Chains A and B, each alone.
Chain A
Amino acid sequence: MPDWKQIIRKKLRMFRVCSPEFTEELAAHLEDSYEALLGEGWAAEVAFQHTIGQIEGRGRVWLVLRFLQEEFMTGLIREVALPGLLTSAAAGLFYWALAVDHISPQVMWLVGGQSPMWWWCLLPIWGALGALLSHRNGGSRLQRIAASLLPSWVMGISILLMFAVGFTLSGLGSHYWLVSARLESLGLVPPGFVVIPAACSLLGAGIAEVSTKKFRRLA
C-alpha cells in the first residue's frame, strides 16, 4: 500500500505549513480512492497512477489554486485586510512615536544608518495582534500570517515605488553617483524595513498561534 501521507507531503509541501490537517485529509481521500479502484478490479499500478493523477499536473495546480482561493481570498477584507491595516497602523504609529520622541533607536548601527532596533523588538506584538484579530474574524492560518505581515508588505511596496519614481525622475545616465547611491540603498533599506520587520512580525504571529492553541486546549 503506498504511503499517501508521504506522497502528499512531497508533492504539496505548502500545505504542511498552511494546514497540516488538510494534508492528512487529502492522504485519507487518496487512500480511499485507491482502495475503491482496487476493489473494482483495477491493477495496482494503474490504480496508483490514476489516484496520484489527482495531485499531479493540472490536478495539483487546480488544488493549490482552489485552496488559496478559499483560504485566502474568501473573506479577504474581514480576515486579512482589516486586521492587517490595524497592525500596519499600530506599527507605523509606534515607529513615528519613537522617531518623534527621540527615544529611538540610535542603539545599533547596522546598514549604513540607524537601524530601528526598538521598533524591531516590539514588532512581534503587532504581528501577534494582526494574527489574533484575523483569528477572531475566522481567518485561516494563511490569512493570519498574511495579516501579521501586512506592515512589511506595505513597506516593501512603498520602498519599491519610491525607488522606481526616484530612478525615473533622476534619470539613469546623467547622475551616475546618484544612481549608484540609490542602487546601494536599494540593497540596504529593504533588510531593515522589510525583511527584518517581516521576521519579527512572523515571530509574533507564531507566538499568537501557539498561545491560541494552548488556550483552546485549556478551554
Chain B
Amino acid sequence: MASVNAQIKRGSAELAVLTLLAEQPLHGYEIAKQIEAQTGGVLRFDMASLYPMLHRWERKSWVNAEWQTLPNGRRRRCYRLTASGRKQIAPLRAQWRAFFQALESVTGFQNA
C-alpha cells in the first residue's frame, strides 16, 4: 500500500482522530492502533504526531481527558470528545469532501 505524504497525513489526522473519538473514548495508544488497523497501515500515528495534538485539543476543550485504571491495574489517559469537539467534525468533513471533489475534477483519480 502506498504511503501518504506527511503533509496530507497531518492535515487528515484531525478528522480521523475526531471521528474515532466520536464513537468511543480511547487512550492514545488505542487511537494510534485503531487508525492503523482501519486504514490498513496507510495512516500511522507516532507519539510525536498524536499526543501534542490531543493536548492542544484538551486546552481548546474539544476533548476531556481523564486517567482511568484498567482491569490490569495500569493507568491510561482516556480522551472523550466534548460537544465542542463534536461540532468540529462536520466542517472538517465538508472541507475534505470539497478538497477531494476538486482533486477528482482535475485528476479524475477515482476513474484511474
Q: Enumerate chain A interface residues (CB-CB to B < 8 A).
A: 19, 21-22, 24-26, 28-29, 31-33, 36, 54-55, 59, 62-63, 65-67, 69-71, 74, 138-140
Contact = CB atoms under 8 A, between A and B. Distances in A.
Interface of B: 27-29, 32-33, 46-49, 51-53, 55-56, 59-61, 74-77
A29 B47 contact: yes
Tell me if A's interface is mostly helix, strand, loop or mixed. helix
B52 A25 contact: no
Contacts of A32: 29
Q: Which 6 A-B pairs have the closest CB atoms?
A: A70-B52, A32-B29, A63-B48, A66-B48, A62-B48, A138-B59
A70 B59 CA distance: 11
A22 B51 contact: yes
Contact of B28 (A19, A29, A54, A74): A29
A135 to B, nearest CB: 10
A129 to B, nearest CB: 20
Contacts of A24: 75, 77
B48 A22 contact: no
Nearest to A62: B48
Nearest to B30: A32
A21 B77 contact: yes
A26 B32 CA distance: 13
Contacts of B74: 28, 31
A145 B17 CA distance: 30
Most buried by B among A55, A62, A66: A66
Contacts of B48: 59, 62-63, 65-67
A28 B76 CA distance: 7
